[in-house]
């Protein structure tokens, strides 16, 4: 044991990895019998469009490698996003595109700026690449504060990440904030993972800002988290370099088929998005009435709450025993907090019933 440790990159010694959400598979039989409500990973509780299930059922040709350029999918995405297909690159989840962008721009000791709390994979991939992660804290309402920007940007800064809206806080970012970041001339990655829940995008600004990079995913609005498919809208030279450095078959045939079928069934999926938004508003109102929770307004498919006067980790595990999975955070600027992904109406009811019981205890 441990004999190969000395060959590993020393900087990985401190690398803690990502605390992924729990799969229902690892829950006890007793809890699974209650029926698991998975509200911990911002997935889409309505699942994919039935057109996806049909298309996957008819999927042939899995014995040949998929098109390494995702030609047909990118044509469909060009229509959907209003950006030429040459400026679109797909990846195995937008996570993979974050990884590739960091590898493209960040050498060891180069700096990556973002506004925390935010999506943990920006730090994960920066650390993995040996880069330096510069976290600019958001204010008490989780808005981005740019006052310190001039002092944090250095000649080693290679990337800025901003999630619009932000995960895990749900905070929407004013477009003005992004324009200010773009004016630095640095590569700015605007992560639009939750775009379909807001309609706010910078896709039409790609021509105007040569340093703008946009990431999107099929995991949230289209219910394809398990298939791992994301894409980005990139300036020409970034798209070409991504094509060059990404592994050719990273996007599998099932993912491409499912993504194309989703784009052909937008009405169905956007109806579900509307239901999720309605349910988010209902949950937000109800959470405001739970005395030990302070919910933050959200533009995405989840709501973050600060827990006051109780232990959020204990609440998380109590909910888990009742079959409800939620996410717990306890980090600087996001102490003792719970994030609830939006479920179907009866999931909300179940969650609220348990939260109220916890309040009585």
Interface with ligand PMP by CB under 6 A: which residues?
Answer: 42, 93-95, 119, 163, 167, 191, 193, 217, 219, 225, 230
Rounded to the nearest whole angstrom, what is the least distance from the CB of residue 163 to ligand PMP in the complex? Answer: 4
Compute the least distance from the CB of residue 193 to ligand PMP, in Å: 4
**Phi, psi (rounded to 5 degrees) for 330:** -150, 90
Beta carbon of residue 60, minimum distance to ligand PMP (angstroms, whole number): 26
193 or 324: whose CB is closer to ligand PMP?
193
Based on CB atoms, which residue is closest to ligand PMP, 92 or 355? 92
Output 42 or 171, the one with its CB closest to ligand PMP.
42
Residue with tokens 């039409």: 204
Residue closest to 105 by CA, chosen among 207, 211, 206: 211
Residue number, nearest CB to ligand PMP: 93
CB of 128 to ligand PMP, least distance (A): 15
Place of tokens 């006067």: 309
All residues at 6 or more sequence positions from 318 whose CB lies less than 8 Å from its CB, including other chains: 354, 358
Name the residue nearer to ligand PMP (CB basis): 125 or 354.
Answer: 125
**329 vs 355 by CB, closer to ligand PMP:** 329
Q: Closest approach of Cβ 198 to ligand PMP, in Å?
A: 12
In the complex, the smallest distance separating the C-beta of residue 196 from ligand PMP, rounded to whole angstroms, is 13
Query: What distance in Å separates the CA atoms of residue 50 and residue 53, rounded to the nearest whole number?
Result: 5
Q: Look-up: residue for tokens 């994979």?
A: 121
**Strand duo 293-295 + 302-307: pairing:** antiparallel
Radius of gyration of the chain (CA): 21
- Give the integer Cα–Cα distance in Å for 261 and 264: 5
Nearer to ligand PMP, 20 or 361 (CB): 20
Residue 332 CB coordination number (10 Å): 9
Q: Which strands sit side by side in the sheet containing 132-137, from one edge to the other?
A: 88-91, 230-233, 212-217, 188-191, 157-163, 111-116, 132-137
């Amino acid at each position: 044991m441990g004999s190969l440790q000395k060959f590993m990159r020393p900087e990985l010694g401190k690398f803690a990895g990502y605390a992924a959400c729990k799969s229902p598979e690892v829950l006890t039989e007793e809890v699974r019998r209650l029926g698991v409500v998975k509200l911990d990973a911002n997935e889409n509780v309505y699942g994919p469009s039935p057109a996806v299930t049909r298309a996957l059922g008819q999927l042939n040709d899995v014995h040949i490698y998929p098109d390494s350029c995702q030609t047909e999918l990118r044509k469909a995405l060009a229509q959907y996003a209003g950006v030429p297909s040459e400026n679109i690159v797909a990846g195995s989840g937008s996570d993979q595109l974050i990884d590739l962008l960091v590898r493209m721009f960040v050498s060891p000791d180069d700096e990556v700026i973002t506004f925390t709390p935010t999506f943990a994979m920006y730090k994960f991939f920066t650390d993995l690449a040996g880069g330096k992660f510069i976290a600019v804290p958001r204010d008490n309402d989780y808005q981005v504060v740019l006052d310190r920007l001039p002092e944090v940007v250095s000649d080693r800064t290679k990337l800025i990440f901003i999630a619009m809206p932000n995960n895990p806080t749900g905070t929407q970012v004013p477009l003005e904030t992004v324009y200010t970041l773009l004016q630095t001339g640095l590569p700015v990655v605007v992560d639009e993972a939750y775009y379909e829940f807001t309609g706010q995008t910078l896709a039409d600004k790609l021509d105007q800002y040569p340093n703008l990079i946009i990431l999107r995913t099929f995991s949230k609005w289209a219910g394809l988290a398990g298939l791992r498919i994301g894409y980005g809208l990139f300036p020409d030279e970034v798209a070409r370099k991504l094509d060059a450095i990404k592994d050719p078959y990273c996007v599998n045939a099932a993912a491409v088929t499912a993504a194309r079928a989703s784009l052909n069934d937008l009405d169905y999926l956007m109806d579900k998005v509307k239901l999720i938004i309605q349910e988010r508003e209902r949950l937000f109102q109800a959470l405001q009435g739970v005395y030990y929770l302070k919910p933050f307004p959200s533009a995405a498919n989840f709501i973050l709450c600060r827990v006051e006067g109780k232990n959020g980790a204990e609440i998380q595990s109590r909910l888990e025993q009742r079959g409800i999975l939620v996410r717990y955070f306890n980090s600087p600027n996001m102490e003792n907090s719970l994030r609830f992904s939006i479920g179907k109406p009866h999931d909300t009811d179940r969650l609220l019933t348990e939260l109220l019981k916890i309040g009585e205890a």
